Amino acid sequence: MSAAPAAADTHCPYCALQCAMSLTVSPSGPTPVTVAGRAFPTNRGGLCKKGWTSAELLGSAGRVLQPLVRRPDGGFDEASWDAALDLIADRLRDSRARFGADSVGVFGGGGLTNEKAYQLGKFARLALGTSRIDYNGRFCMSSAAAAGNRAFGADRGLPFPVEDLDAATTILLLGSNVAATMPPFIAHLAGARAAGGLIVCDPRRSSTARLTEDGAGIHLQPAPGTDLILLLGLTHIVITEGLADIGYLESRTTGFDAVRRSANVWWPERVQAATGVPVAQLRAVARRLADGRGSYILTGRGVEQHVDGTDTATAAINLALVLGLVGTGRSGYGTLTGQGNGQGGREHGQKCDQLPGYRKITDPSARAHVAGVWGVDAAVIPGPGVPAVELLAELGRAGGVRCLLVHGSNVVVSAPDVSAVRAGLEALDLLVVCDFFLSETALLADVVLPVTQWAEEEGTMTSLEGRVLRRQRALDAPAGVRSELWIMAELARRLDAPSTYSTVPSEVFDELARASAGGIADYSGLSHALLDTGAAAYWPFAAGTRGTPRLFLDGFAFPDRRARLIAVYPRINADAPAQVGGVLTLITGRLLEHYQSGAQTRRVPELINARPEATVQIHPATAARLGIVDGDIASISNARGTVEAMAEVTINIRHDTVFLPFHYAGSQCANLLTEAAVDPVSAMPEFKRTVVTVAALRAVPAVVAGAAAAAAGTGAVIEESEYV
């Protein structure tokens, strides 16, 4: 490998907005590289707190720098790479011989580069011969992806460039707090805000919801879990008031009659009774979306992370199609991908049912094509496996997964019902974790393998708008650290695996491009060399083309080129909280300062000092009824577990709801409470509606409570200047 350059242009290691940044090596500085924002359409030079502080982790004292192998007494010893990989290969070979190939599982991550995600899928299916592979993107994008695939025939988060939103006069944002999760994105909402057309649907008065104030838009505050009914109600109003685009429906869609019937029973007054959203607001939103001046509907995890998440995302798509918004070039529908490579990570083989290029693993022609690129007989490629929650439920069980390799995920914090997940991990014969730090999951591992961080590696990422971006190396990795590409190649060699496994990212990408050729997510016209020119590269980017910034302009990805309107129906949830005693609905979400499981951001002093612990948001009326005072420690519990968190009493939440961030571990882990119930279509877990009992646990001395509340934040409006 050649020496790293003194400077490099790259992209932020966190969310899928993939803000552009420049890195300059600073050997004598407080961090190994200096970060600067870089002009780019998504962030226009701005970064959030996470981006500005991202370099601090590169030289962190807590970084794992050598392979670690667990001792019999539970501690770790450093080991050589050869010793660690020989141990892993021997244990994997033994498990496959005794219990079959599916006794070995792989759990990937939406933060891996396209190259690593692609090679991980290939490694699992050929070197390990297992069908048991899935990834944490199942917790993030699966419902939106399933809805997009069945409505449009393709799943690309935003089927248009982000900057198209600048010209919008109306944007309906459902279940996404972009002001906290991807702050530079809010610049693209400025036009809609100026026109009074930013509409935010969220049970909380979040930072994003507050952007609608002072005439900038409307905040819809439905009861948790009623988003599907809300969308059916909006569709009803659009149809009954003659606002539907009948010409568009007749020429570009099928299924309208069934959708009309499904919406008929959700008249405004009934929707108000179910959701709590006033009829006047419902009518105002429907009319605003139909005014023909550039309307967009965007969904996020808040409406998708439910057992009916696919149907809810489908209802949002139906509304967009009935209004004639999709594929026009002046309006649209999209979903906001969360993880840095959530889009690319699901396109090229980490999902249990997919092959590269977004091909179905059950499709004989897809299997034949990919097998030809890999140089193997298609018969050796396993069939579909099981999605993430089911995969984790198999851990340590008879006939299930006995050895697990984890890449880029911290399931002990991020998975639903984490107590059960922890028990499964502890029951494994072998747990191998590739990570930069001893995350909560790595602390349970038998072997921990230290891997490169973002600024130490070459590769590509695919942003929330389907744009393929180059990640360029700015500095050399520490001596004992290796790339996952190298690890997979070394293990494949030890396991006598078929095919070849390159350690050179550009070569892996070239193979990925060939494997994706002709698929929905076709990268065959791309290469590192082309991306290094700065070319805007939106997939599908077939060889000989210039890519596709705007999908669906010429039709949808079905043989008849028509979108599918699919009727969906609400389900009556029998465990809806009765509001007796302290029984409430828990919703979970993110904070401005932290990312995902917090495995990285909780190690950055500025970020953890700003939000040192989880706080539970609770309405003043509810807090008074339960005897909870701002700053008290409250217990939030159900049959699965108990979380202890400081109470933040705020009017920014519904009286029947409490909110916990999901970035924290231990007794503050929100997923101690969530259930491993999943959407039947997407296998998305129910993260956003959990029945809990809340009670005052103990008071905190006033001085301590005041200091902690100040550190954690009081729910005050965050000025936009802080975002950039």
- Whether pLDDT at 136 is above 80: yes
Q: What does DSSP say about strands 76-78 and 68-70: parallel, antiparallel, or unpaired?
A: antiparallel
Q: What is the pLDDT of residues 537-583, one digit of tens each?
A: 999 999 999 999 999 999 999 999 999 999 999 986 544 555 567 89
Q: What would the pLDDT profile of 29-60 be if each residue is shown by its tens digit? A: 888 999 999 999 999 999 999 999 999 999 99
As given in the structure block, the two tokens for residue 129 are: 């011969």
Distance CA 260, CA 389 (A): 34
Question: What integer pLDDT is reported at residue 579 of this predicted model?
Answer: 58
The pLDDT-based confidence of 603 (bands split at 50, 70, 90) is: very high
pLDDT of 74 strictly over 50:
yes
Query: Secondary structure of 13-54 in the HEC alphabet?
Result: CCCCCCCEEEEEECCCCCCCEEEEECCCCCCCCCCCHHHHCH
Rounded Cα distance between 224 and 202, Å, is 8
pLDDT at 340: 87
Q: Give the chain's radius of gyration (CA, Å).
A: 24
Distances (CA, A) of 258 to 262, 308, 569: 6, 19, 11
Q: Give the mean pLDDT of 495-520.
A: 97
Between 569 and 27, residue with greater pLDDT:
569
Angle formed by the axes of helices 309-322 and 256-264, nearest 10°: 110
Average pLDDT over residues 648-660: 96
From the list 123, 87, 111, 93, the residue with the least C-alpha distance to 445 is 87
Structure tokens at 224: 């948790």
pLDDT per residue over 170-225, tens digit each? 999 999 999 999 999 999 999 999 999 999 999 999 999 999 999 999 999 999 99
DSSP-assigned letters across all residues of 516-583: HTTSSS--TT--HHHHTTT---BSP--TTS---SSTTTT--SSTT--EEP--------TT-----TTE
User: Can you tell me the mean pLDDT for 131-155?
Assistant: 95
Separation between Cα atoms, residue 200 and residue 177, nearest integer Å: 9
Following CA atoms 609, 610, 615, 617 in sequence, which dihedral angle do they give, to the nearest 10 degrees? 170
Q: pTM of this prediction?
A: 0.94
Q: How far is 405 from 550, CA to CA, in rounded Å?
A: 37
Q: Where in the sequence of the chain do the CATH 2.40.40.20 domains occur?
A: 583-715
Taking the C-alpha atoms of residue 393 and residue 528, their distance in angstroms, rounded to an integer, is: 39
pLDDT of residue 578: 56
pLDDT-based confidence at 700, cuts 50/70/90?
low
| pLDDT at residue 52, rounded to an integer | 96
Reported confidence tier of residue 396, pLDDT bands at 50, 70, 90: very high
Q: 172: part of which helix (H) or strand (E)?
A: strand 170-174
Task: Return the sign of the alpha-carbon dihedral for residues 544, 550, 555, 561.
Answer: positive
- Return all residues near 241 (Cβ < 8 A) that are at least 6 apart: 283, 286, 287
Output DSSP code: residue 184.
Answer: G
Question: Could you tell me the CA-to-CA distances from 445 to 317, 431, 438 in Å, in that order?
Answer: 42, 5, 9
Q: What is the pLDDT of residues 312-336, one digit of tens each?
A: 999 999 999 999 999 999 999 999 9
**Residue 357 to residue 366: CA distance in whole angstroms:** 9
**Is 699 a residue whose pLDDT tops 70?**
no
Position 720 scores a pLDDT of 30
| pLDDT tens digit sequence for 414-471 | 999 999 999 999 999 999 999 999 999 999 999 999 999 999 999 999 999 999 999 9
575 within 8 A of 162, measured Cβ to Cβ: no
From 149, 68, 148, 138, select the one nearest 109 (Cα to Cα): 138
pLDDT of 703 strictly over 90:
no
Across the range 223-240, mean pLDDT stands at 97
Average pLDDT over residues 355-370: 97
What is the residue-averaged pLDDT of the chain?
Answer: 93
CATH assignment, 583-715: 2.40.40.20
Looking at domain 157-335, its CATH architecture is 3-Layer(aba) Sandwich (3.40)
Domain span(s) for CATH 3.40.228.10 in the chain: 157-335
**pLDDT-based confidence at residue 697 (cuts at 50, 70, 90):** confident
Residues 625-653 have pLDDT tens digits of 999 999 999 999 999 999 999 999 999 99
Is residue 338 within 8 A of residue 16, CB to CB? The reply is yes
